[in-house]
Chains A and B, each alone.
Chain A
Amino acid sequence: MRLAILTDIHGNREAFSAVLADVEQRAIDRIVLLGDIVGYGPDPEWCADKAAALVEAGAIAVQGNHDNAVGDRAESMGKVAAAAMDWTRPRMNEAQRKFLAALPLTQELGDILFVHASANDPGDWIYVTGAQRAMGSFRVCTSRLIFCGHVHVPALISCGLTGQVQEHEFRIGAAVPLIRSRRWIVVVGSVGQPRDRSPEAAYAILDTGTNELSFRRVAYDVASTAAKIRATGLPEVLATRLLKGE
């Protein structure tokens, strides 16, 4: 089975559509959304509806901190994120609010665990930014593969037979065998707001048959999204960071 794993869409319709169009061409059997469907971006309504339609059609989805913040005002956020959330909240209709609130924090598929931030304390939104921060996730579960997002920078981390945890370099587009002697954490890069100095939308493909993972990047019309952000009065920094990918 081939899974397309998308995360941190953040209300970016152009990026989300571009990735879904790419997914169409790659013989994908099932889509996984790792949360943060809304927040930051100018099209939260469209993205939430699209995500709900995908789930209706069989996609797996988990909740991100921004999705939770739509209904939960106690969710603590940075200044810019909070400002964007204040702009987003009134735009969500009842159905969209319900859909986002009902998303589970984790989902499992065979030996794979899906979570937005970190497998240990998924509701605490811990950033898995390296081997050290990944150890907790390996400890709390027995899943062989853990997919998460939240960081907006893709990463690949493994835990070996002797318990050593290490982060690996990878190349975009190259298929990496996730050898079975190790457990792996795949931090998937962001669709709607990449922060690794490339503005291209990021996602990942897992082929459970060949047990291979590829990180992918898709170019989309960043300028349009940035223009929309400026037109709506969302914080300017959200537009510039999209253009720069940071």
Chain B
Amino acid sequence: MLRPSEGLEIDGFKLGACLHQGGFATIWDVTHPLYRTPMVMKVPTILDGYDGPTIVGFEVEQMIMPRLVGQHVPRVMGVGDFSVMPYIVTERIPGKSLLQLFKTAPLPVSDVIELAARMAEAVHALHKQHVVHLDLKPDNFLRRETGEIVAIDFGLSRHDELPDLLAEEFTIPMGTFPYISPEQYLRQRDDLRSDLFALGAMIYELATGKMPFGQPERLKGVRKRLWRDPVPPRVLVPEIPDWLQEIILRALEVDPNNRYQSASQMLFDLSHPNQIKITARGLKTERDGFWTVFRRRRKMRKVRRFAAPPTMLSQIDRAPILMVAVDLSPEMEELAHRLLTWVQRMLVIQPDSRVACVNVIKTARIGLDPTTTDDGENIHVARLVTLKAWAEKLDLPEERLTYTILEHSDPGRALLDYAANNHVDHILMGARGHSSTRRFLGSVSSQVIAEAPCSATVIRLVQTASEEEAAVI
């Protein structure tokens, strides 16, 4: 087996300087006559003799990384065989890992939110591609010059459609102790919500400058997080708003079922802080008392595993963001009612969905913007009240509902932009029948259907024969 060194040429790649020397791998600057993109090569440091964990971790990376696409992962240019020299060549992401930034924590709340949202966005991108990272920590996030966060180091990851080379191999829990989730401690490697726990721990650290569970050196110290709750962030930094504490502590819930159910739902809360329902979590001012912790410890003693979702995509599908575009005009009352029934039906099959109710106020293309006038204000408030009244009949807890009034000259565009920006999974909207004289409004739904970045369902009222005749005339 070859050892990497400056000047070495392998499969057309020429090694430059060694950029980083870690415990398990070295990173080299490389060039290739066919590629102009700056690239790096990662070579595992395989000790002589038995070095199972390093080898298998690298095999996992070689298996998973070439399958990932998009802005949130480094692009893979080449993979090297173990028989000559194992390596992975990827594009070089300029800039440092988030580790430097974490060292400057606590950061101002606005920076925390911005970064947390970017991280959640990257994690959601991985989850949608069947991958749970399982070793999220500041060192494993890089930032592109354009701002997107890039996840690296997939040596402990799990792709839910590929064999898990690590599953049967090692019996100790794997991960980085300050960020590892309770279920990972219990050796579960199949739950995307483990990554949300790690995200929660990182946001905690960004906001307070402290790690929620300290830096345990032994497994025994990791186990404690199954019953011992972290100090509420607001105790450490009083400037932290209650809604941010709510987000952090929800992500850090011990039972995955009590956490955010998908990264996109977490991202949704980070983007709409004023609509977060504050529970006891957000208002907590001290750690749980002795007896609560004692009882929890007794209960956790018997826990061997937490219920995990059958597959990653099924979990994402179970917990979607459902956007409902409602037309509140008086003549559309019956359709709005129908739409409500359909949302209720969807909630039966997708019990963890978030419902985003959206209504658009059409503004003039040019000229006076009605929202700048007092009248405009009133329209906005009135619409919001009507929208809330409509959604009330869903009988959904407040934290799973949001209301948004958009103002735009092009209602279809406004709905599409909202869906894209909020990682909406499914759009539900009503459409007037083709008999409608107001063809213009009917075209909003066709525009949304044609251009939606996700699934879209249109609800129509069943037409009676006489209506159809009327339409022909």
Contact = CB atoms under 8 A, between A and B. Distances in A.
A182 interface: yes
Contact of B55 (A160, A170, A176): A160
A146 B313 CA distance: 32
Contacts of A170: 163
A26 interface: no
Nearest to B159: A174
A216 B62 CA distance: 24
Interface stretch (B26-34, B79-87, B320-328): B79-87
Interface residues of A, number: 19
A166 B168 contact: yes
Contacts of A25: none
B169 interface: yes
A133 to B, nearest CB: 16
A156 B62 contact: no
Contacts of A93: none
B169 A176 contact: no
Nearest to B58: A181
Given A179-B63, A180-B82, A164 B169 contact: yes
B63 A177 contact: yes
Contact of B81 (A168, A176, A180): A180
A171 interface: yes
For A160, A176, A179, which residue has the most chain B Cβ atoms within 10 angstroms?
A179
B347 interface: no
Contacts of A181: 55, 59, 62, 81-82, 86
Contacts of A232: none
Contacts of A177: 62-63, 66, 162
Residues of A contacting B: mostly: loop
B56 interface: yes
Contacts of A167: 168
A161 B55 contact: yes
B56 A169 contact: no
B162 A174 contact: yes
A167 B164 CA distance: 10
Nearest to A166: B168
Interface in B145-165: 160-165
Given A160-B55, A161-B55, A169-B164, A180 B169 contact: no
Nearest to B66: A177
A162 B62 contact: no
A179 B59 CA distance: 7
B169 A182 contact: no
A36 to B, nearest CB: 27
B291 interface: no
B241 interface: no
A158 B168 CA distance: 12
A156 B81 CA distance: 21
A161 B55 CA distance: 8
Contacts of B81: 180-181
Contacts of B51: 162
B440 interface: no
B52 A182 contact: no
Given A180-B81, A181-B82, A166 B169 contact: yes
A121 B56 CA distance: 31
Given A171-B161, A177-B162, A164 B52 contact: yes
B290 interface: no
A180 B83 contact: yes
Nearest to B82: A181
A168 B50 contact: no
A174 B161 contact: yes
16 contacts: A162-B50, A164-B169, A166-B168, A166-B169, A167-B168, A168-B165, A170-B163, A171-B160, A174-B161, A174-B162, A176-B162, A177-B62, A179-B59, A179-B63, A180-B81, A180-B82
Given A179-B63, A180-B82, A181-B62, 14 more contacts: A158-B163, A160-B59, A162-B51, A162-B55, A168-B165, A169-B164, A171-B160, A171-B161, A174-B161, A177-B63, A179-B59, A180-B81, A181-B59, A181-B86
Interface of A: 156, 158, 160-162, 164, 166-171, 174, 176-177, 179-182
User: What are the 10 closest A-B residue pairs judged by CB atoms, nearest first?
Assistant: A168-B163, A174-B161, A181-B82, A171-B161, A166-B168, A180-B81, A177-B63, A181-B59, A162-B52, A162-B50
